[in-house]
Structure formats: C-alpha cells, structure tokens
Structure 1
Amino acid sequence: MDNVSVVRVFTLSGMNETTNYKLAIFSITLLYYCMILFFNISVIAIIILDEDLHEPMYILLCSFCVNGLYGTTGFYPKFLLDLLSPAPEISYAGCLLQAFVMYSFACCELSNLAVMAYDRYLAICRPLHYHSVMSKRRLSQLVCFSWLTPFCAFSINVGLTSRLKLCGANLQKLLCVNWVIVKLTCSDADTFSNQAVSYIIILFYFFHGVFVIWTYMHIIRTCVRSKDDSRKFMQTCVPHFISMTTFIVVIFFDLMYMRFGSRDLPQGFQNFIAIEFLLIPPLLNPLIYGFKLTKIRNRILLLIHGGRK
C-alpha cells in the first residue's frame, strides 16, 4: 500500500485465537462488562444522590469511576461485536478513535490518581488548610486538569498518526493502539514526530508518578506520629495505593511488551497483556473503594437492607 488513503479497514488478527471459543468468551465478557457497569455506576449514583458525599474525596472518586466507564466503553462493545463477526475488522477512523480513547483513558487514570493523592496529602498533612485550599474552584480545576490534559495530548498524538503513510492493514491485536498503527508506517523516518510526542507524554506522566511518591512519603511520615492520622490513612489511602499500584503494574507490562516483547509467545497470552489494563482496574477500583470507604459501604448496606424489607 502506498499511502494512508488506501487503508480503509484494519484486520484485527488478534481475534484469530478466539475462533473456537467465541460463544464462551462472548458470554463471559458480556457478564464481566455488565459487572463493570453495575459497580461503577452504583458508586457514581451513590455519590451523586447523597449530599453527605459531596466532598472533594468522593467527587474525585466519582471522576475516577466515570473514567473507568469511559475506557471500557471504548473496548468492550466493539470486542463483543467482533466475537459475533466471522471476520473482525475496524475502520481506519474507528481505529484512530479507539486508539485515542485507550490512551486518554490510561493517562486520565494516572491524572486522577495524582489528584487523589494530592487531596489525601492535604487532608492528612495540612488538615487546618484543607477546606481553604481544596475549594470548589480548586476541585473543579483539578478535575478539568485530569480530563483535559490527556485529551489534548493524545489529540496531537493521534492527529500525527493520521498523517502517516501506511504499508499494512493487519493489527495483531484485539484493539487499536497508537503504537501498533505507527509500526505499520512505510518509512521509520516518518514516525519521528510521533515518537517525540510519545516520549514527552511518557515523561510528563512519569512526573505524575514521582509526585504521588512524594505525597505518600509525607503522608506516611505524618501518620507515624498520630494514631488518628494512621486510622485515616488505612481507610482512605490504602484503596488509593492499591488502585495506583495495580494500574501502574499493568500499564508497565503492556508498554514494555508492546515495545520490546517477543512475538513468539502464544497469541492468547499476548491478548491478555494487551487488555489487562481494561480487565483489572475498572472492576477492582469501585469494589475496593466501595467496601473500604465507610460512608459508601454504609450507603450500600443501607440499600441492601432497605431492599430486603
């Protein structure tokens, strides 16, 4: 293929591994996606409907769960349709859109985690200044930062990808990601801008991680000196720490494998590595926050007992 205008449709050859188990995988995936929708929407609804939960920590959690819905909606419906299709394909425009959603979801997750770490730092290390610093205006700015920064960054990245000349239309994946599309480029010289922007974005979000580590160093140092702060840490920071660690680990494996991994591994294992960031965090996050945060857990128990009556 000489140029990008020839590529109208990409073939998702990563789906070939599912040929003999499509019905079983479809049923399990549909159930799993319904669970993700149910738990995330439940946490969001509880926070929105209960005025006692209209506090910065819970509003940031609500944003966190909305992002989980955003990312999984960019993958699961299309994947379920592909399981019912004899020849899984995705249009060129649809592929770019899915790549944008996947990357912006991942970076929005990191931004949300950084903002939530900042909120916990203020609540535990600077409690007397918490309400003055974490005002409604500041909270709105932080939420906008969490969403708009990834959107702007990857609009540029995907925009650069759309201008590349491609010499292939076969994606060995279950979904579209920007780096896989870039690897289909006819000339490596054309990818310099994409790689430069990608490394800048990676560096930017690396500093997110450094910031989170810095906040936790201060939080732990403060909590060691106070039993009340230690209790607050166990209740509100442990869920955040679990979410952050889980997401960073799965993203790290995905990035390392995408860049340096061997193609000799079984396709099923490659598929799992490619989508684990869409499997584990979106379901784990609402569960650990729902059961660990006392106010949300009490609202859930109240709804359950009220429903039984």
Structure 2
Amino acid sequence: MKTKTMLNSTSSTSSYFVLEAYLHVGNLRYLFFMLTAVIYVFILISNTSLIVVICMNRSLHEPMYVFLCSLFVNELYGSTGLFPLLLLQILSDVHTVSRPLCFLQIFCVYSYGSVEFTNLAVMSYDRYLAICCPLQYNTRMTVNKAVTFITVLWFYSLVKFLVTLSLNIRLPLCGNVLDSLYCQNFLVVKLACSDTTVNNIYGLFIVFITILVPLLLILFSYTEILKVCFSGSKQTRQKAVSTCSPHLVSLLNFSFGCCFEILRSRFDMSSVSTELQIILSLYFLIIQPLLSPIMFGMQMSKIRQTFIRLFCSKVTTVSAHENQ
C-alpha cells in the first residue's frame, strides 16, 4: 500500500507508468507466457494466411472480400499493439512501461477498436446491398468503392485518435499507476493534475461517433435484411443466413468485449473478481483476432475452398518432389 501511495505521488516529470493489474503468479508466469505466445502466433499465421489467399486469388477480388482483407489487417494491427508488450510484462518482475510506449499503445488499441467497429458496420451495409438490392449491387458497390470506404474509415479512425493523443500528452500527471494490464486512455486522464474538461468532452464525443454512428448503419442494414428474409423465399433466407451469420457473430462478440471494457474502466467493478476483470479486459483484444479468421475462413465456402486449393496443392507439390 505504501508503494502504491508513493508511486501515485510521483511528479508529472515521471518518464514511465506502472501497470498494477498484473498478478504475482510465480513460476506460472512461464505457462502464461507460452499460452499467450501460442495465441499470438496463431493470430499472426491465420490472419496473414487469409490476407494472402484473398490477395492472390483474382476470384476473391470482390467488395466483400476487400472488406474482409481490411478486417484481417486490422486484427494484425491490434494484436501487435497488445501482445509484444504483454509478453514482455508477463516475464518481467517490474511492470513498468515508458510514457512514449504507453501513449503509442493507447493509440494502437483505440484506433484498432474504431477501425474494427467501423469496418463491421460497412460490411453490414455491403450485405444489405447484396441481399436487398441484388440487381443493383454490382453498380452500387464496386471494388473501387470498397477501397474508398476502407481508406476513409482507416484515415478517420487514425486521425480521430491522433487528436486524442495530442490532448493527453500535454496533460501534467500527478501519478503513474494504471490499474490495468495495458495502457488505457481514460486511466491516464484520471491521473491528470490539471483541468481535463476538454479531454472529457472530446472523449465523450469520440465514444458517441465511434459507437452510435456505426450502430445506426448496422441497425438499418439488418432491419432491411430481416424484412427481405420474412417476405422472401426460402432460398433468400438461406443466402442471408449463410452470408450474415459470420458477420453477426463477429459483431456481437466484439460489441460485448468493448461494452465490458468501457464499463470496467469507468465504473466501480469491485464486486467482480480481479481474475475475471483481467480476462474480460483482454477479451476484445484477444478473442476477436482469434475468432475472425476462424469464422470467416471456415464459414465462407469460397475462402475455404481457395485456401485448401492454394496451400494443399503446394504441400502436395513439395511432397511429390521429395519422393522423386
């Protein structure tokens, strides 16, 4: 307790933050390190493989797969913002992170979340056009338009959190202890010695446009899709289920993780065990990058067949040469 008080009284010139949420688990740290490393390697391999599949096969150069490619790139981006530092902290006895690295992680994690949710919203609009306006789909959603959508959503998300970062960096801080496993924007702002009205107003504005605007697009898209499903043929309903189910699962999973993290960082969660809080604080940063390639890779037959044809044929060719 004494150490925590001492750290919290650190002057604004402190060059590092202390991540306090790490549990002392003794030799189990090596087990946690191995599990985390395996998860990270799987995320890297699975998402990269699907990006390669989409890029190399011309039959997948369609708007839906362009959006998926953007999604897989974002999973790699968000994971790289979390895992390297997480792995380092698991093995470390002193859980500190430099200020520049902490602010860089804040930027990566939050921009990842914005790109993810916005990308899923645009994908829901793409599914709306494919199911509700099938005859006009090829003119209303082209590859060039998909690339434009992706460019705008990435630029919008990165600029939005560059402004957040610039507002936070200027704050003088009266402490350096963050009750988290990774750097979080709201926890840093809470340490400020000066007035944070501008930061809080801009933060609420960012939450509003990051969540509400994409949510309205998602609700509109799926309301229209449901109308077509109820009034359409059995074949239409089957098409809607097969193309929308991976997207819906991914969307609900990510929304759950984000909602819990927002609640955990802003409200008293002392009634929830520390271990459960730790697991759920990492949920949207770990489960989503794991789930996306599995859901879209396994459920979408065109990707699955292309993946098998591309990689299995190479393995067969290599084996044939070795036998010769």
TM-score range, shorter chain: over 0.9
Name which of 232, 249, 253 aligns with 1:246: 253
> Hey, what does 1:258 align to over in structure 2?
265
Equivalent-residue separation in structure 1 for 2:30 and 2:271 (angstroms): 27
Q: Normalising by structure 1, what TM-score?
A: 0.94
> Hey, what does 2:199 align to over in structure 1?
194
Which residue identity lines up with residue 82 of structure 1 in the other structure?
Q
Q: Mapping of 1:1-309 within 5 angstroms?
A: 4=12, 6-187=13-194, 190-204=195-209, 205-224=211-230, 225-263=232-270, 265-303=272-310, 305-306=312-313, 307-308=315-316
Q: Structure 1 residues 8-17 or 240-249, which shifts more? A: 8-17
> Is the CA contact 2:62–2:143 (under 8 Å) kept in the aligned structure 1?
no
Which residue identity lines up with residue 31 of structure 1 in the other structure?
V
> Is the CA contact 1:17–1:268 (under 8 Å) kept in the aligned structure 2?
no
> Is the CA contact 2:103–2:183 (under 8 Å) kept in the aligned structure 1?
yes
Equivalent-residue separation in structure 2 for 1:184 and 1:266 (angstroms): 24
Q: Structure 1 residues 52-61 or 206-215, which shifts more? A: 206-215
Corresponding pairs, count = 306
Give 1:233 shift.
1.1
Equivalent-residue separation in structure 1 for 2:216 and 2:263 (angstroms): 19
Could you list the runs of 5+ residues in structure 2 that have no partner in the other structure? 1-8, 320-324
> Is the CA contact 1:2–1:165 (under 8 Å) kept in the aligned structure 2?
no
**What is the root-mean-square deviation in Å for CA atoms of aligned residues?**
1.7
Equivalent-residue separation in structure 1 for 2:312 and 2:204 (angstroms): 51
> Is the CA contact 2:10–2:176 (under 8 Å) kept in the aligned structure 1?
no
Which residue identity lines up with residue 117 of structure 1 in the other structure?
S
Give 1:265 shift.
4.2
Equivalent-residue separation in structure 1 for 2:26 and 2:178 (angstroms): 16
Which residue identity lines up with residue 151 of structure 1 in the other structure?
L
Q: Structure 1 residues 279-288 or 222-231, which shifts more? A: 222-231
Q: Normalising by structure 2, what TM-score?
A: 0.90
Give 1:294 shift.
0.9
SS, match of residue 174 in structure 1: coil
Could you list the runs of 5+ residues in structure 1 that have no partner in the other structure? none
Structure number, greater radius of gyration? 2
SS, match of residue 10 in structure 1: strand
